[in-house]
Structure 1
């Protein structure tokens, strides 16, 4: 009864924050604040969504579809008050690889399937486990993605002309770009550098101004007025449509589903991590708390909705979410309005988008990549410990040179092994008379070896997490008991956790001790631990249980004397 009272129910876990905000009372003042915040974020998202789409190997309008449909559903259904959903730079690598392997139809199907995977993760309440991704893994894959985004923009940044298709892998891409170095377009390079200067300058001196949009508009006006020979959205894609397409299901076939399923799982994994990280950032800025599983359910619905309208993967976006908070948002309505403002921009200004130079969009993503690269955290982790440095570097190098999913999984595995190693080293086995009443003022502690004066009764204390990683070390320590004492007392009152491997280790020690004529007494075992040991055959008289250590020592000495 007590457990059910403290454990949150379905409603508490999955009620969208939009309903929570409306129940609290949503007035005209809050609506005005959300309109300003939504417009601010939409101005940021407009050029960024198109830039991410182009870098991902899809037409720019796909990025707008993703931000409009996916962003609206994330805010309407999500577990965070301030989350802004849309296309994210973190997905560029995965989306580009999926398009290369399966085409745009395969990308949309993978996005559609990833939505159902995220729904399952959310409804199964597995969102809390995503937080266990080690920090070095997060920094490693974020920095790796930043490097890949930056290299993917070099072609348009410098206006290079390649002899063939741009390679996907990192090293061949750099080789192809180096071979095309003589084809640098000076006009494109100057536009890109100028755009970077505008963005960086406004961020420093006018941080509240929409630097991305101003840079794109300025570059577009300069390129059009001077007739610069640079590639634009119109020359490469023919412009963007002025309306959303009609929703339709992606092509569903068993063969196609099995082909894109690995990409779908990658989208879901990265989307879950990225969205919850973004929600945590919003919490830290506002003092609020998000509902992680509700957020994942919303991300799932958003990915399904995005795919139905021809968009690709949606996730919570840290930079736009932070901008939403700084702009004074009061709740999810600002995110919903951001999507509606984007739709209005597309309906009104779509014909003008064809004049946007690709060099300006490349400049935007270059700045995004520079900000994504967690340089200070990267350097700090390299200095912190050898284990964290190894996890960081392995994740980073695998993401850059191999594959994003492989980098995350291998980094997580190494991080888990490192954690188990550290936990096993934290387990202590101490030998000595353990009753505080025996040595009240020794100053050495109850487990000092100097207190072990009774040859007939030996006392050991195990402290820490006694699990499979530490079982071998603990077993070896117990096996080193000198002589043949008549009784052995094992105090596990300071054991924070004991698993079946540890129980089997105790069982093996007890069996060996009994063969040598030594009785074993266990002190401080909780009821769950006693139940586990009994499952492994540890029952009196083979093993005798006592709640208090003094009682176990008294019984051991009494039996040894008889």
Structure 2
């Protein structure tokens, strides 16, 4: 391709990643449902944004800023018509250790760095990469995140110390145990009661009417109880009544170097979670096309914008996106409305929001974590294949014990190894009988059929089985049923031909598929044959040629023996 062609192709790709009028094609038909869905999601998102902001160790304000700024930018620039973006529980799990190691001030810089990485991934067309993650790994990852989110709320229920200010371990299991050991037992009953009030409202409200936002009702009830009763419960505190002005975070080379790996981790998590959320949304209803590359671009821009306003990294939120779709959202107006509802709350109700007890937010997040795990899904995976069940459990355990991205990588590698093992077992080598009339010498001909993929994981076994043939003079390799072939598999055929020919065994090849021809020529399969005529399309012709070799060999044997005489 010429330089001009490359430039034009790049320009078309860049244009496809930008917003256009087509993004709002459905708006004349869907705007009423979009507005209703946007308001609904905004109400649902308020306690989650506050809770995730507090749990991350940053602030409730940062959670709200992220939901507003990132919600608007991702809705405009993203690749999904219904994706709702903002702070999520998975991101909280990553941010808390960053805050503990580098301080709250590092979050804005990590957010911007991660946004630039995600933006670059979208421009490099890496949006489809998430499709390589197996379903059991995704579910194991989700289970691990849910466990961590639940455990992260324990410190908020055991002490009035704000999240992130204590000296607990960055590991959620250890931190929860430390919090219980150092609990203020005069505070615990009040905090648990506030959390249970919220949980009860979240469970009971849908039974009254499915449209009642139980989490918001629970927070209102818990807040009113705090205002009416003398309790020791810690509250969110004062919130600004406007959005902060955008500004670049402080950057120094030492801090920048220390934050590269955390930024890569955040970027990978943001990309994975956003693409999974968008894919789930596309399966819930007819929501229009999904452009995975553009979704990454939109999420990258959203995180950069969030970081400039002092917010957190943004991702597509599966729960809020699902609420949007189920509430009737079909265009980007719904996600934009959700962000504007939150902005309105900041502008007119920051005072009452600041009176919300932290324990109430913990109740919201604990039940949210519980609902993230679908028991039927867990049972289905555990009852499926042993490999998938093992990948699910391993991913969940590593997520809780070590690191989210490491867990995904280990889970994918583990599932990949089992998949390759299964693929290797599907490759078969079978010696076939010669059909039709059997003639003298046919026992010296071996017709060997190779079934399934011939790739690096199955190459050695195929070589050993073919080379175990004994007492034959001609081997006919039937390749018409052979599946995928890689360079290792093609080279294996060369090794088989050369090894058999060195034994004096003639090799004939039958049924080379057209899709394999170029690879076989490049690696030298055809060139390894004793003669170009040893390549066949028809099996009968190959058998006839093999028999001619056997007859010639038999004549040579008789001539070598000469006249037979008895000696005294």
Using the size of structure 2 for normalisation, the TM-score is 0.89
Deviation string 1:181-211 (CA, Å, 9 cap, x unpaired) is 4625222221111110001111333221111
| C-alpha contact (below 8 Å) 1:522/1:545 kept by paired residues | yes
Shift of 1:531: 2.5
Shift of 1:318: 0.7
Shift of 1:252: 3.3
| C-alpha contact (below 8 Å) 1:478/1:509 kept by paired residues | yes
Query: Counterpart of 1:117?
Result: 117
Query: Counterpart of 1:455?
Result: 443
Deviation string 1:71-92 (CA, Å, 9 cap, x unpaired) is 1111111111110011111111
Shift of 1:17: 7.3
Which runs of 5 or more structure 2 residues have no equivalent in the other structure? 553-568
| C-alpha contact (below 8 Å) 1:452/1:458 kept by paired residues | no
* Aligned equivalents of 2:120, 2:90: Cα separation in 1: 22
Secondary structure of the residue that 1:339 maps to in structure 2?
helix
* Aligned equivalents of 2:380, 2:441: Cα separation in 1: 49
Query: Counterpart of 2:462?
Result: 474
Q: 1:459 to 1:474 in 2, by over 3 A?
A: same
Q: 1:18 to 1:64 in 2, by over 3 A?
A: farther
Deviation string 1:271-299 (CA, Å, 9 cap, x unpaired) is 11111111121111113441111111111
* Aligned equivalents of 1:105, 1:423: Cα separation in 2: 49
Whichever of the two has the greater Rg, that structure is 2
Shift of 1:227: 3.0
Shift of 1:58: 0.7
* Aligned equivalents of 1:137, 1:56: Cα separation in 2: 24
Secondary structure of the residue that 1:483 maps to in structure 2?
coil
The 5 Å alignment of 1:335-346 reads: 335-346=335-346
Secondary structure of the residue that 1:58 maps to in structure 2?
coil
Shift of 1:510: 0.8
Secondary structure of the residue that 2:328 maps to in structure 1?
coil
| C-alpha contact (below 8 Å) 1:43/1:210 kept by paired residues | yes
Shift of 1:386: 2.2
* Aligned equivalents of 1:259, 1:369: Cα separation in 2: 31
Q: 1:418 to 1:160 in 2, by over 3 A?
A: farther
Q: 1:328 to 1:18 in 2, by over 3 A?
A: farther
Query: Counterpart of 1:447?
Result: none
* Aligned equivalents of 2:260, 2:446: Cα separation in 1: 59
Shift of 1:304: 1.2
Q: 1:44 to 1:453 in 2, by over 3 A?
A: farther
* Aligned equivalents of 2:472, 2:91: Cα separation in 1: 64
Query: Counterpart of 1:61?
Result: 61
* Aligned equivalents of 2:222, 2:500: Cα separation in 1: 82
Kindly indicate whether residue 414 of structure 2 is the aligned counterpart of residue 414 of structure 1.
yes
* Aligned equivalents of 2:166, 2:293: Cα separation in 1: 45
Kindly indicate whether residue 292 of structure 2 is the aligned counterpart of residue 292 of structure 1.
yes
The 5 Å alignment of 1:180-219 reads: 180-181=182-183, 183-185=185-187, 186-219=189-222
Shift of 1:95: 0.8
Query: Counterpart of 1:71?
Result: 71
The number of residues matched between the two structures is 539
Secondary structure of the residue that 1:82 maps to in structure 2?
coil
* Aligned equivalents of 2:112, 2:138: Cα separation in 1: 25
Secondary structure of the residue that 1:493 maps to in structure 2?
coil
Q: 1:202 to 1:475 in 2, by over 3 A?
A: same
Secondary structure of the residue that 2:103 maps to in structure 1?
helix
* Aligned equivalents of 2:14, 2:259: Cα separation in 1: 34
| C-alpha contact (below 8 Å) 1:16/1:76 kept by paired residues | no
**Range with greater deviation from structure 2 (525-534 or 96-105):** 525-534
What's the RMSD between the two structures over aligned residues? 2.7
Query: Counterpart of 1:391?
Result: 391
Using the size of structure 1 for normalisation, the TM-score is 0.90
Query: Counterpart of 2:495?
Result: 508
* Aligned equivalents of 2:62, 2:109: Cα separation in 1: 14
Secondary structure of the residue that 2:443 maps to in structure 1?
coil
The 5 Å alignment of 1:351-500 reads: 351-433=351-433, 438=436, 454-485=442-473, 487-500=474-487
Secondary structure of the residue that 2:248 maps to in structure 1?
coil
Which runs of 5 or more structure 1 residues have no equivalent in the other structure? 440-449
Q: 1:25 to 1:376 in 2, by over 3 A?
A: closer
Query: Counterpart of 1:329?
Result: 329
| C-alpha contact (below 8 Å) 2:154/2:180 kept by paired residues | no
Query: Counterpart of 1:173?
Result: 175
